[in-house]
Amino acid sequence: MNTPTVPPVFVATPVPHSADELAAITYNVDGLVGAIVQDAADGVVLMFAWMNAESLAKTLETGRTWFWSRSRQEYWCKGETSGDRQYVRSVRYDCDGDALLVTVDQEGAGACHTGNRTCFFRAFGDEPAGEPAGS
């Protein structure tokens, strides 16, 4: 007899932080810092997106990932449309303060808007999409 699998229940938990830590972040000329998002369960890199000071603060305060959309010029909380939400476990910044690593519990199918688990599903040298091997 198969027992149905119950999906995990994730909880948004604020990330402790200080004003000095926020001040250590270096933003580019557009006021943005790159954020790499990694799955806490297995270490897979799920996506890359941009944050500004406000979206970083919202991420830390809410425990959900918030980003700045350069094309739409607006904030977006990952998964509010797709249901594939991210619950923050930790946020780290590199030695220069110009890159972030956000570790998350990924809910749903995955992080990519294409339906893939990760946005990094293509590799150089892979067969082009839609073409059979050897063509």
- Asked, for residue 58, whether it belongs to a domain, the answer is yes
**How many structural domains is the chain composed of?**
1
Residue 132 placed within a domain: no
* Contacts (Cβ under 8 Å, ≥6 apart) of 102: 35, 36, 37, 38, 59, 65, 86, 88, 90, 91
Over residues 29-44, the mean pLDDT reads 98
Dist. CA 81–CA 83, nearest whole Å: 6
The end-to-end CA distance of the chain, in Å, is 46
Q: What is the CATH number of the domain that holds 55?
A: 3.10.20.810
Mean pLDDT (whole number) for 34-45: 98
Residue 128 lies in a domain: no
Q: Tens digit of pLDDT for each residue in 80-108?
A: 999 999 999 999 999 999 999 999 999 99
Evaluate whether residue 127 is within a structural domain.
Answer: no
Is-contact 45 54, C-beta < 8 A? Answer: no
pTM: 0.88
Range of the domain at 45: 27-106
- Quick one: pLDDT at residue 129? 60
**Do 38 and 47 form a contact (C-beta atoms < 8 A)?**
no
pLDDT digits (tens, 9 = 90+) for 14-28: 999 999 999 999 999
